[in-house]
Chains A and B, each alone.
Chain A
Amino acid sequence: MDDRSSGVNEQKKKERFDKEALVHLDALYRTALRMTKNEGDADDLVQETYLKAYRFWDKFEEGSNCRAWLFKIMTNIFINNYRARSRKPQVVDLEDVDDDFLFGQLSALGPSDNPESHFFAKVFDDDVKKAIDNLPEDFRLVVVLSFLEGFSYQEIADITGLQIGTVKSRLHRGRKLLQKELWHYAVKNGFIKEPAQR
């Protein structure tokens, strides 16, 4: 292949990469922020993801789900490089989280003043992000992929390499932990008066 035609191919490759892969940058960065919990690491993680994706662009099958492919690459890098650094045993106390914890707490406040809307209206964006960041990592990843990125259970299983049952149970527990976290936050900040123990 002479120089000119290889140049043309490179150009085509770049155009396709731009059109199909780089359009997902915002989404990847959003999830990277929640995964790494800081902007510097999120920057690096997304860059590494794209460089790896570009190197292996010929392995990507045209027409298949590029977004899921990119998230899988990113999750792999995250698990291999970033998580290993701060890998501590995760101790999660789930015993005391009822399935309907937040719902129960809010209902107990009484029907008259519509406590749910009150609660949802009071909490700020950053506080929700903080509450997500405070989730143990295994749950955080699944919650972010499902809630923020809208991936299906099957797609999350493919991305994380988890079995679908594990995805479901982590998502379930992740929800509970998130609700508990937000409840304590709302009580602490006086948005809501904690009712007598139910």
Chain B
Amino acid sequence: MTCEEALRKLYEVIDKEASEIDAQEVKEHLRHCRSCMARYQFEEMFKTFVIDKASSPAKSEFLKGKIISQIQHLDENPGSGKNRGKFLTNPFRFRSIFVAVAAALVLCVLAAFASAKFYRHKVFIYPFEKTHMTVHALYPDKIPHNTEAVSKFLNGDMRLAVNDLGNGFSMIGCCFDEVQGQRFAHLRYQNGLTHVSLYIGKNDGVNLPDFEKAVANNIEYFHRECKECLVMYWKMGDALVIAVTDDKQARLTDFLPALASI
């Protein structure tokens, strides 16, 4: 193992995330290499130092009492805002990993069925697929970046943010497109070779196709895999979100962080 390789594994080893073989090889290298050893020792010392200085337990006894009395209150008034409580103004989006896995399985099974129904998608999917796949050809110089107008449209009408998706996807452009004659914001994201188009607009008046239904993170969504893309749509408050991606492994949960501000 060279010094370069050893230093590449530096943090994984210190964070105890390296494989046993890697850790063993690094250890072997450190035995013979004083300069790498010094670096490792320093980084280890630094981590211990930060943990030592910053993780003193916070005093939260008072808070505990407050929480318990709030829970008590919740139980005494079970009807008060069961669905519309203060803490639920944002829809609750966490479900256990199992549900996500189950949703993924359902998605796979349904995807198999979907191929048989391929031709029914033409009316709805095709326009999306086309704009999605040809967006670079449509705008050869640069994808329009009309952030201000799009952001105004989303914040004014639907209170959504124009952000990076937070999962490696960053926004490369946004503009307006039409869906069945209605104005939709078209947000375009990229992560390496993968692209995602999100179309966001009002959810009334759009004629939606009968895709396969699935649920993830408490959100009901509809999806269909077609020739080049995976198309999904779901409703968020008064907004309709349509996601088109060339990554057919993508799941609804991938796109939620950026859309969470509704």
Contact = CB atoms under 8 A, between A and B. Distances in A.
Interface of A: 10, 14, 17-18, 22, 25-27, 29-30, 33-34, 42-43, 46-48, 50-52, 54-56, 59-61, 64, 69, 72-73, 76-77, 79-81, 84, 87, 99-100, 102-103, 106-107, 116, 120, 123-125, 127-129, 132, 146-148, 152-153, 158, 160-163, 165-166, 168, 171-172, 175, 178-179
B63 interface: yes
Interface stretch (B23-31, B52-60, B240-248): B52-60
Q: Which of B15, B42, B58 has the most CB of A within 10 A?
A: B58
A96 B15 CA distance: 24
Interface stretch (B67-75, B120-128, B206-214): B67-75
B260 A76 contact: yes
B113 interface: no
Interface residues of B, number: 52
A165 B168 contact: yes
Nearest to B257: A161
19 contacts: A22-B68, A25-B64, A29-B58, A34-B54, A47-B63, A51-B71, A52-B87, A76-B94, A77-B90, A79-B260, A81-B90, A128-B50, A147-B55, A161-B166, A163-B168, A168-B11, A172-B11, A175-B43, A179-B46
Contacts of B152: none
A32 to B, nearest CB: 8
A124 B42 contact: no
Interface stretch (B95-103, B104-112, B134-142): B95-103
A26 B71 contact: no
B253 interface: yes
B60 A29 contact: yes
The 9 lowest CB-CB distance pairs between A and B, nearest first, are A128-B53, A29-B60, A29-B58, A30-B58, A125-B53, A148-B55, A26-B57, A80-B260, A103-B42
